[in-house]
Homo-oligomer: A and B are copies of this chain.
Amino acid sequence: MSKDAISIGLSVAIVSVEGEKPSVLVIARLGEADALPFGPFDPAHHRTLESGLREWVGQQTHFELGYTEQLYTFGDRGRHLPAPGLRSDRAARVVSVGYLALTRQSAADVPQSEWRGWYQYFPWEDWRGGKPAMIDSVILPALKKFTKGAEGAQSEARRARVRLCFGDGLPWDEEKVLERYELLYEAGLVEEYFRDSGAAGQAPALGTAMLYDHRRILATAIARLRGKLKYRPVVFELMAPVFTLLELQRTVEALAGLKLHKQNFRRLVAEQGLVEGTGKFSTPARGRPAELFRFRREVLRERPAPGLRLGTRR
């Protein structure tokens, strides 16, 4: 009579940038795979999904969430294990709601958790030093095999997907993080922790694994953030109160995984009125000191959709 229970898992990719390294907060339990801060939604105590999330994160990492945004709700059977602690006859199906949170890097105490560079999980996503060699040497050959592993129309569909995600003719679209991850997942090229690695060894396992669907959530987070950069001033959530324009540029580049044209970046930021000079200057080890700027919070009230169009790669 009683239906199978449902449990709602709340997971969050908490992102910050240290120097030029975009990072995500992971819970590192020894011997286990990296996991995002995670906990079940408890309708008796949580007024909203987001407040439930805040509570879990607070408990697990002693961390106060600032800017937070819901990403997606995943409900696929087979990409999650039942939550522990339930009697097996009533094993709950887990539906997973993913979030993105942004924060300034605080070296503060975050017990049992660590900042990890996100490109460790997605090494093919960092194009700041040019196209990652692994795409041509590992990914494309393996995907070619995957394409050939299907018949007729399905093979054609796979070929088209490969081309859109990694293709040579097309320009790199830094926002297609999730599409690329899903393609690699279906091709068996990324392994996650819950999966029976029966086929392991046959194909290269790309990037570091995570627990359950956490890497999928992280991919969604990166994609969303890369998109949002361009039409909302979200970068400033990641910056110190004052910063040089180059620091701002490096942060954007770190997130987008691209190099940008310096002079044009500066022009863009200035024209948009996103930023105002403080009259103070940095004291660099080498080179001319740069003026320190601060974010003009007022733009949020003035302009409807301010952001940093990235322009093309340099």
Interface residues of chain A, those whose CB is within 8 Å of chain B, are 3-8, 41-44, 46-50, 52, 70, 72-73, 75-77, 92-93, 95, 97, 160, 163-164, 170-171, 173, 176, 300-301, 303-305
Contact = CB atoms under 8 A, between A and B. Distances in A.
Given A70-B73, A73-B49, A173 B304 contact: yes
B77 A48 contact: yes
Contact of A44 (B3, B41, B49, B76): B3
Oligomeric state, in copies: 2
A254 B185 CA distance: 39
Given A41-B95, A49-B75, A6 B3 contact: no
A90 B219 CA distance: 37
- Most B-side CB within 10 Å, residue of A42, A95, A160, A171: A95
A209 B51 CA distance: 28
B95 A76 contact: no
Contact of A70 (B52, B72, B171): B72
Nearest to A7: B6
A95 B41 CA distance: 10
A301 B160 contact: yes
A139 to B, nearest CB: 18
Nearest to A305: B173
Contacts of A163: 301
B170 A43 contact: no
A47 B76 contact: yes
B47 A95 contact: no
Given A4-B42, A48-B75, 10 more contacts: A4-B44, A8-B95, A41-B75, A43-B77, A46-B75, A47-B76, A48-B77, A73-B97, A163-B301, A171-B304
A172 to B, nearest CB: 9
Nearest to A46: B75
A183 to B, nearest CB: 14
Contacts of A6: 5-8, 41, 43
25 contacts: A4-B44, A5-B5, A6-B6, A6-B8, A6-B43, A8-B75, A41-B75, A43-B77, A43-B92, A43-B93, A47-B77, A48-B75, A49-B73, A50-B75, A52-B75, A70-B72, A70-B73, A73-B73, A160-B300, A163-B301, A164-B301, A164-B304, A170-B304, A171-B304, A173-B304
